[in-house]
Structure 1
Amino acid sequence: MTNTWNEWFNTVEYMFGEEPNIFIKSYAAQLEGLKKVAAFAEGEGRNAVFLATLGHEVTAFDYAESGLRKTKRLAKKNNVEVNTVQVDLLEGTIPTQQFDAAIMVFGHFPKGKQSLVFDKIVNAVRPGGKIMMELYSEDQLEYQTGGPKELEMLYKPQNLLDWCEGSKILHLFVGEQTRLEGKLHTGLAHVIQLIIEKK
């Protein structure tokens, strides 16, 4: 896989803006008391930096070195620290049971690899920890307001439910939400939101 994200993020401007995803911001209280948080497929760091401003110890994982550099820059601008790790979530190794919580916002992978990535994220969290995600559903193709243009890279709600077996579902939403996040998320969208507690 060529690292096109590294090229996309190699700009001064933040492609998805500097503000956190509204789902993460709205449900951040779910992470209260969970000190160490991993932010997967974190891009330019907007969510990781936001959680760091709330007092969490955050590690941002992403494939794009340019995105991680911007994460550090945004953290400095907000007077916080964010650890960064460059890793390909499809091929790389993720620490096991090292975090109290994990988030992933619009991290999209080929259907044959989605469960692999999901398992890596869940395995990174200790029992009793929480995982929060917002993803584009397959119906997002009709909206054309952001995200992958191929069905292969979008998510089925039923698949996510299947992958959650063994965890406690705290929040599940499938439907329309407006997302105005930089240049690339620009209006009404169809998303899947998930918060689970690992048993």
Structure 2
Amino acid sequence: MANWNERFKDKKYVYGTEPNVFLKDMYTALSGEVLTIAEGEGRNAVFLARQGLNVTAWDYAESGLEKVSKLAAKQGVRVSTELVDLAEAEWQQNQWDGIVNVFGHFPGEVRKKTLSGVKEAVRPGGYFIAEVYSHNQIPYQSGGPKELDFLYRPEDFLEEFSDWRIVHFFLGEVIRNEGELHNGLSHVIQFVGQKPQ
């Protein structure tokens, strides 16, 4: 945790201030109350707030959440922020119309708990949108964790959300240029799922 707090203390936005490209393509599925998890410095939460959504951002780095609020103020929108460690998160049933995870990476047990929490917390008819690094990312050197346990496999999504309507699923290469830390050819998983009504 300390290293993220340190990383985000820099005035510079290490992942930039522009939203993730995949989220920009897919956000129109979202409405109402949206939660972004492992939000970092706020680029995606602020983008969604600019589209008129009520956005709450969770992260466990206080310095990141401070930057979320600054970016929101600068762009004339409001994002609620909550200091949440996903290892200890309390997920409320049917709380959110949509949940977004862009490059939020956690150890295997926390990942499992988080995806299961997401499944509970999305309201019927709501959506979960994710773009994350796949287990094939390590040799790519374009960003993301260097430990396999922090990377996603297709079955993480396809098994947990097997009873949802899968709107979009992709495993493969994309180019990402997001600030200093995500640059170049990357191997990702993209997922958009809708909870049954």
Same fold, TM exceeding 0.5? yes
Cα distance between partner residues in 2 of 1:150 and 1:115: 16
Cα distance between partner residues in 2 of 1:95 and 1:70: 26
Query: Deviation digits for residues 144-193 of structure 1, max 9, x if unmatched?
Result: 10000111110111222111122110000111000000010010100000
CA 1:7 to 1:95, structure 2 compared with 1: closer, same or farther past 3 Å?
farther
- Secondary structure of the 2:137 match is helix
Corresponding residue for 1:88?
A: 85
Q: Are residue 71 (structure 1) and residue 68 (structure 2) matched?
A: yes
Q: Which runs of 5+ in 1 are unaligned?
A: none
Query: Deviation digits for residues 78-108 of structure 1, max 9, x if unmatched?
Result: 1000000001011122333221111000111
TM-score where L is the length of structure 1: 0.95
Cα distance between partner residues in 2 of 1:3 and 1:198: 35
Segments of 4+ moved more than 6 angstroms = none
Cα distance between partner residues in 2 of 1:65 and 1:83: 13
CA 1:101 to 1:180, structure 2 compared with 1: closer, same or farther past 3 Å?
same
Contact conserved, 1:3 with 1:63, CA < 8 A, in 2? no
Cα distance between partner residues in 2 of 1:49 and 1:137: 25
- Secondary structure of the 1:17 match is coil
TM-score where L is the length of structure 2: 0.96
Query: Deviation digits for residues 110-167 of structure 1, max 9, x if unmatched?
Result: 1232111111122221111000000100110110100001111101112221111221
- Secondary structure of the 1:9 match is helix
Indicate which of 178, 181, 185 corresponds to 1:184.
Answer: 181
Q: Which runs of 5+ in 2 are unaligned?
A: none
Cα distance between partner residues in 2 of 1:102 and 1:180: 23
The alignment-based identity, stated in percent, is 48
Q: CA RMSD in A?
A: 1.0
Contact conserved, 2:133 with 2:188, CA < 8 A, in 1? yes
Letter aligned with residue 58 of structure 2: F
Letter aligned with residue 178 of structure 1: I
Deviates more, 1:129-138 or 1:90-99: 90-99
Deviates more, 1:116-125 or 1:100-109: 116-125
For these two proteins, the number of residue pairs brought into alignment is 196
Q: Are residue 151 (structure 1) and residue 114 (structure 2) matched?
A: no
